[in-house]
Chains A and B, each alone.
Chain A
Amino acid sequence: MSDSPLRIVPNQPIKLDQPEDSASTEAATKQGEMAELRRLLVEPEQIQINNLLERLNNPRVRAREMSRNLTEAVRLRSSQDDSLTEALAPTIVTAFQSSVKKDPRPVAEAISPLMGPAIRRAIAAALSAMIQTFDQALKHSLSWQGVKWRFEALRTGKSFAEVVLLHTLVYRVEQVFLIHKTSGVLLEHVAASSVTTQDADIVSGMLTAIQEAMRSFARDSFGSTHEEHIDTMDLGDREVWFETGPQAVLAVVIRGKAAESLRGEFFAPALEAIHYEQRESLAAFDGDTTPFELSRPHLESCLQSQYEGRTDPARFKVPLYIWLLLALLLAALATWAFFAWRENRRWSDYLNRLRAQPGIVITEAGSRDGKRFVAGLRDPLAADPRAVLREQTRLDPAGVDSQWKPYQAFDPEIVEKRASSMLDPPPGVELKLNDGVLAASGTAPHQWMVDAQRLARAIPGVARFDDSNLTGEESESLRRQIEQQAVRFVVGTTWIAPGQSEPLNALTAQIQKLAALAPAAGRVAKIEITGHTDAEGDEAANQRLSEDRASRILALFKLRGIAPDNFSTRGAASKEPVHPETSAADKAINRSVSFKVSLLDARQPAAKPKESSR
């Protein structure tokens, strides 16, 4: 068949190669027959071969088929040995790394449900451990025992922490040796932190030698026949526990007294795990200890310890006195806060009071060097801030620094005070400031009125001085004297009654004095002279008579040199009797003139022309 190669075309009849020339047609026919025969004979197999080739050559078909068996294949292979895991491990690690590098979020999200509780637990444990340490520190530093230990630390040169640990130690696994059983060669070794260790190789050898020596001693002395294991070696403050396996021995150096349960809980399981994981390395051991580095975690799991008074952080309860201490601290804090708050309130209250004071302006206030301070401007007439501090607040004056610069304030109260201090009004005079007008009312000595008129204009903050409601003491007394006077007349005449010259002289003097005094105080004295008659006779005649009597007195004053300008006269007949008329004596009294004095502001008439001129 090698001379007639076949081309296999799926689902098509088998073709032979083309004959080389027409002369060989017969041969070709023969061959065609052969092919036909072959087709008839092997066609089903041919189709199967074609299908197989298709399956082999088409990667898609292959992949589909492989996908059907992949899971089963992996399962099968994994049950045989670990080579698949080993082969896949680098790829998985690389895939993981590249996935994290590309986008760490999916990984972070996937592990966060695990990480969260773990972190929370770790934090809780750390906090609890911290409180525990604090508790221990308090206990150990405050007690008599603590003092003793401190002294011991000083004496031995150890740190205090170390001494405390030594005394509170119940037990501590200091070192763990993994030893090859027959040779005593050290396979791996771990030690607790801060434990000083000798050369572990030598110790391992010595431990094995000692075990051997003890065994042979047991054989020789007590005739033990089978291999006895030594479980424990007591070295005073330390013990060495041996855990013996088929090929390796675990030697555990423990300081203090440990519970026997450690053996079952930690040591035996660790040794078993090592025997299982390192079964090949142990069986073929010939000095190479490198593979046993992988056993370190198992050895480290044996590094257990327990201290007096120390309990599992998770089960540790915060002691009552720590709560009390905490409560005390809180109470102290609250008290301090309350006092600070109250002090602050008092301070702001003081500042508000100062601000409300006329003539005080606060420019700066606060705390400095543990003291409060306030600085600003103060009118010398304003209230004394120290007095306000002392009398109106409960602040400690020693804790307050004040700095005041003098200035002149224009608050009405201060201007009033300033006016009052500058004018020094006599009793009976009231000063009031209203819209810059200082108004004085009451009665004052004439001289004061004169001075006040002059001084008031110079007081800062006073625009005008109004003394229209002020009366001079002297003018007032003269007015009263004049108004008490009455000049009597003879019946029915304008003749002055006998014996009247003396009062008339006094009256003249009083009027002259008043006229002289009033202008200096800015006043003008207007005097109204009213004539009176008794009720006898004709009322019209009486009216005339009364007017004449008033004019008669005015003429008399003129004669005596009194300017008549500020006088007015009128007659009242018998309508305004000076005295109720019931007797002849009363009638005599009513035949008279009376005086009414008005002290008017001299400036008023002067102002009037100005207004009228507008």
Chain B
Amino acid sequence: MIRKKICLLGAFAVGKTSLVARFVKSLYSDQYITTVGVKVDKKTVKVGDREIALIVWDVAGEDEFQKVQMSYLSGASGYLLVADGTRGNTLETARMLEQRVTETIGALPFIFIINKSDLAPEWEIDDQALAECESQGWTVVKASAKTGEGVEAAFAQLAEKMFRK
């Protein structure tokens, strides 16, 4: 059995816990639960013909009062960087987090998820900004924890990336 630790990072209330809930149990809860510290979940995915257990660490979101504990990332094989399409500043937080990870842990495979694709018309993050990210080598996935769009794909891409490494 292959077991890989991955982390979810992102600004406060971007929907990380909902994404995990969607990914792990395929159900969505509208009720936002403020994650205190860390919540760990598990999901088995297939990469090629290999089964991999992804141990998903859902790390508390970053805001002006609370910084993401980088120590939670130790030993992780990759991470999902999450931003909220409807809140432009969450993209900034994501950039900052990515930088901090690279500084403290080193370059890890990651996928950048722009959540809340079901609310696309209200998005503050435009395609230009996303293209900018992609030009830096980021893999960007638009997803919605509510509809399930892009969720499985994001996790699968991360798994693939971790193995290509």
Chain A residues in contact with chain B, CB under 8 A? 180-186, 199, 201-202, 204-206, 209-210, 212-213, 215-216, 286-290
Q: Which residues of B contact A288 (CB under 8 A)?
A: 1-2
Is there an interface contact between B69 and A216, defined as CB atoms closer than 8 Å?
yes
CA of A184 to CA of B6, assembled, Å = 11
The 6 closest A-B pairs by CB, nearest first: A183-B75, A205-B40, A182-B75, A209-B38, A183-B5, A287-B2
Q: Which chain A positions have C-beta within 8 A of B71?
A: 212, 215-216
With A185-B55, A186-B3, A289-B3 given, is the CB distance from A202 to B75 under 8 Å? no
The answer to whether A205 touches B1, judged by C-beta atoms less than 8 angstroms apart, is no
A-B contact pairs, 7 of them (CB 8 A): A183-B74, A185-B3, A199-B42, A201-B42, A212-B38, A212-B72, A286-B77
A244 CB to closest chain B CB, in angstroms?
Answer: 14
What total count of A-B pairs have CB within 8 Å? 69
User: What B residues does A210 contact at CB under 8 A?
Assistant: 37
Query: Looking at the complex, which one of A181, A201, A213, A215 makes contact with B3 (CB distance below 8 Å)?
Result: A201
Q: Is there a chain A Cβ closer than 8 Å to B101's Cβ? A: no
A230 smallest CB distance to B (angstroms): 14
B residues within 8 Å of A by Cβ? 1-5, 37-42, 52-53, 55, 57, 69, 71-72, 74-77
Residues from chain B with a CB closer than 8 A to the CB of A180 are 75
Q: How far is the CA of A210 from the CA of B38 in the complex (A)?
A: 8
Kindly report which residue of chain B lies nearest to residue A200, judged by CB atoms: B42
Q: Indicate whether A201 sits within 8 Å of B69 (C-beta atoms), given known contacts A184-B75, A185-B3, A287-B2.
A: no
Assess the A212–B1 pair: CB atoms within 8 A.
no
**Complex Cα spacing A205 to B40, Å:** 6
Closest residue on chain A to residue B41 by CB atoms? A202
| Interchain CA distance A212-B38 in the complex, whole Å | 10
A199 to B44, CA, bound (A): 12
| Chain B, interface SS category | strand
Partner of B4, one of A185, A204, A213, A216: A185
| Residues in chain B near residue A212, CB distance under 8 A | 38, 69, 71-72, 74
In the complex, A184 Cα to B39 Cα: how many Å? Answer: 13
Q: CB-CB < 8 A to A183: which residues of B?
A: 5, 55, 74-77
Q: Which residues of B contact A186 (CB under 8 A)?
A: 3, 55
- Separation of A333 and B3 alpha carbons in the complex (Å): 66
Point out the residues of chain A lying under 8 angstroms from B75, CB to CB.
180-185
Closest Cβ–Cβ distance, residue B80 to chain A (whole Å): 16
CA distance A206 to B35 in the complex (A): 13
A206 vs B77: C-alpha distance when bound (angstroms):
17
Residues of B contacting A286 with CB < 8 Å? 77
Distance, CA A201 to CA B38, complexed state (A): 15
B106 to chain A, nearest CB (A): 13
| B38 and A289 contact, CB distance less than 8 A | no
**Which residues in B have their C-beta under 8 angstroms from that of A182?**
74-75
Complex: A216 Cα to B59 Cα, angstroms: 14
Chain B residues near A201 (CB-CB < 8 A): 3, 42, 53, 55
Instruction: Looking at the assembled complex, report how far the CB atom of B113 sits from the nearest CB atom of chain A, in whole angstroms.
Output: 21
Q: Are A184's CB and B37's CB within 8 A?
A: no
Give the residues in chain B near A289, CB-CB below 8 Å: 1-3
Asked whether, in the complex, the Cβ of A206 is within 8 Å of the Cβ of B40, the reply is yes
Asked whether A205 and B74 contact (CB < 8 A) given A183-B5, A289-B2, the answer is no
CA gap between A183 and B40 in the complex, in Å: 12
- A442→B38 CA distance, assembly (Å): 130
A209 and B40 in contact (CB under 8 A), knowing A182-B75, A183-B75, A287-B77? yes
Task: Give the distance in Å from the alpha carbon of A443 to the alpha carbon of B42 in the complex.
Answer: 126
Residues from chain A with a CB closer than 8 A to the CB of B76 are 183
Are A209 and B42 CB-contacts (below 8 A) given A183-B5, A185-B3?
no
Which residue of chain A has its CB nearest to the CB of B2? A287
Chain A residues lying within 8 Å of B57, measured Cβ to Cβ, are 184, 205, 209
Q: Which residues of A contact B39 (CB under 8 A)?
A: 206
Residue among A202, A216, A290 making CB contact with B42, cutoff 8 Å: A202
User: Which of B3, B4, B69, B71 counts the most A-chain CB atoms under 10 A from its CB?
Assistant: B3
Cα A204 to Cα B71 in complex, Å, equals: 16
A148 to B1, CA, bound (A): 47
Chain B hits for A290, CB < 8 A: 1
- In the docked arrangement, what's the CA distance between A202 and B72, Å? 15
Residues on the B chain within 8 Å of A199, using CB: 42
Q: Are A213 and B38 in contact (CB under 8 A)?
A: yes
Residues in chain B near residue A287, CB distance under 8 A: 2-4, 52, 77
List of A residues within 8 angstroms of B53 by Cβ: 201
A185 touches B5 (CB 8 A): yes
Q: State how many angstroms separate the Cβ of B66 from the closest Cβ of chain A.
A: 12
Q: Whole-angstrom distance between the alpha carbons of A209 and B40 in the complex?
A: 8
Chain A nearest CB from B159 CB (Å) reads 11
A184-B5 in contact (CB<8A):
yes
Contacts of A209 in B (CB 8 A): 37-38, 40, 57, 72
Docked complex Cα distance between A215 and B37 (Å): 13
In the complex, what residues of B have CB within 8 A of residue A216's CB? 69, 71
Whether A205 and B55, one on each chain, are in contact in the complex, defined by CB atoms closer than 8 angstroms, is: yes
B4 CB contacts on chain A under 8 angstroms: 185, 287
Beyond the given pairs A184-B55, A199-B42, 12 more chain A to chain B contacts, judged by CB atoms under 8 angstroms and listed by A's residue number, are: A181-B75, A182-B75, A183-B75, A184-B5, A184-B40, A185-B75, A202-B42, A202-B55, A206-B39, A206-B40, A210-B37, A289-B2
Residues in A neighbouring B72, C-beta threshold 8 A: 209, 212
Question: A185 to chain B: which residues have CB within 8 Å?
Answer: 3-5, 55, 75
Closest to B56 in A: A205
Give min CB distance, B116 to chain A, whole Å: 26
Report chain B residues within 8 Å CB of A205.
Answer: 5, 40, 42, 55, 57
Distance between Cα atoms of A355 and B52 in the complex (Å): 93
CB distance from B57 to the nearest CB of A (A): 6
- The closest CB in chain B to the CB of A187 belongs to B3
B100 to chain A, nearest CB (A): 15
User: Within the assembled complex, what's the spacing in Å between the Cα atoms of A289 and B52?
Assistant: 11
Complexed CA–CA distance, A288 and B38 (Å): 24
Which chain A positions have C-beta within 8 A of B69?
Answer: 212-213, 216
CB-CB under 8 A from A204, the residues of chain B are 55
Contact B41 A213 (CB under 8 A): no
Nearest Cβ on chain B to A183's Cβ, whole angstroms: 3
A506 vs B75: C-alpha distance when bound (angstroms): 159
The interface residues of chain A lying within 8 Å CB-to-CB of B41 are 202
Tell me the complex Cα distance, A290–B3, Å: 10
A241 to chain B, nearest CB (A): 20
Give the CA-CA distance A219 to B153 in the complex, in Å.
Answer: 38
> Complex Cα distance A213/B2, Å?
26
Distance in angstroms between the alpha carbons of A443 and B63 in the assembled complex:
146
